[in-house]
Structure 1
Amino acid sequence: MSAAETTFEQAGRDEQPRRRADARRNHDRVFAAALEVFAEAGLQGTVPQVAERADVGKATVYRSYPTKEDLVEAVVRHRMAELERVTGPALDEAEPAHAFAAFVRALFAYLAQDRLLSEALADVRSAPCTGPLLDRLEELMAQARAAGEVRSDADRLDLRVVLCGMCLQLVGLAERDVARWRRYGELTLQALRP
């Protein structure tokens, strides 16, 4: 092997870790941009918007996420984990009725800042990602119902229609005021009281 070939081969090996580091940085930039774009625009956000915000080409986005749906799913899963951390303190409430109410209040305050998650909660196609949240809400509601704090005939469908219906309307009205979202969280709770 000539000295030139050895130098070229060595340069290729040295560049691989740098390329991997660049790819990781690009992936992180794409994901951070996707969090922002979809929080602002919901499902109307586009891959070109994400690419522009991340300052990369669309192909860079598609290397990490082959479809927009893959990117949306990754963002929703991330937001769900974040939401669990934010709403976790509500589950520490001693009384079941208080835990349910605190959880709903925390949820509405959080959703005011995230259009995508608000839309995903109401979209049955997102059920694999959002189902655990609705399961948790249903469980808390059942405990509050057993304590006489929620109407005896309230079920998962009622919860979904009332809560998700409120969210969809607020998103449709482009409402971003946290106080207004909290108000509708309170109305959701009132709708489910005996």
Structure 2
Amino acid sequence: MDPAQTTSQEPRRDDAPRRRADARRNHDRVFAAALEVFAETGLQGTVPQVAERAEVGKATVYRSYPAKEDLVAAVVRYRLAELERVTGPAVEAAPARAFDSFVLALFAHLAQDRLLSEALADPRSAPYTGPLLDRLAALMEEAKAAGAVRHDADRQDLRVVLCGMALQLVNLDERNPDQWCRYGELTLRALRP
């Protein structure tokens, strides 16, 4: 086809790299906006809020994430990887107190992330949050063996106490990181022998 005969609706081949770059930029803007919206509002965040924050249309969001659940899952996975980067050094720095360090770092992180707080308490998020809870349970078992955690504490206790505290702080709309750290300390005390 002669280039002069192309219509305004047909993309020209020399436009393809620019369009791909635009799509990548839009995808990055959508994801950055989703991180902000869901950190602020948790699962109550909406695709229209994400689109507005990213300054794109809803259709642009849906091109990258066909359903809100896909976007939430991507954000949770990202936040969990970010949490791993934050908590890893705390645990490695004090192996004898790894469980305590991890729990306190987790609460400090959750103070800034309502979505992750809600996801941890929601059994439907287990495919994403399961590895985090597995790690917490393993650290708790090590602490239990060292006599730092009560002998009868188990994974369900950890889930009820830790996730319950986090979810209640979200429900109370508590955003003060100092308060979150205080409840991290209370969580640890609840699990002490």
State if a TM-score over 0.5 links the two structures.
Answer: yes
Secondary structure of 2:12's counterpart equals helix
Unaligned runs of 5+ in 2: none
Matched, 1:124 2:132: no
- Amino acid of the residue matched to residue 104 of structure 1? V
Matched, 1:26 2:16: no
**Bigger Cα displacement from structure 2, 136-145 vs 83-92:** 83-92
Matched, 1:136 2:135: yes
Q: TM-score, normalised by structure 1?
A: 0.94
Query: Is the CA contact (8 Å cut-off) linking 1:87 and 1:106 kept in structure 2?
Result: yes
Q: Distance in 2 between matches of 1:160 and 1:125?
A: 14
Alpha-carbon shift at residue 3 of structure 1 (Å): 6.7
Listed one character per residue, the Cα deviations across residues 110-131 of structure 1 (whole Å, up to 9, x for unaligned) are 0000000000000011101100
Q: Number of matched residues?
A: 192
What's the Cα RMSD here?
A: 1.8
Change (3 A) 1:151 1:12: same
Q: Distance in 2 between matches of 1:100 and 1:81?
A: 18
Which residue of structure 1 aligns with residue 39 of structure 2?
39
Which residue of structure 1 aligns with residue 61 of structure 2?
61
Listed one character per residue, the Cα deviations across residues 30-87 of structure 1 (whole Å, up to 9, x for unaligned) are 0000000000000000000000000000000000000000000000000000000000
Unaligned runs of 5+ in 1: none
Secondary structure of 2:134's counterpart equals helix
Change (3 A) 1:108 1:17: same
Which residue of structure 1 aligns with residue 169 of structure 2?
170
Which residue of structure 2 aligns with residue 187 of structure 1?
186
Question: Segments of 4+ in structure 1 off by > 4 A?
Answer: none
Q: TM-score, normalised by structure 2?
A: 0.95
Identity level (%): 77
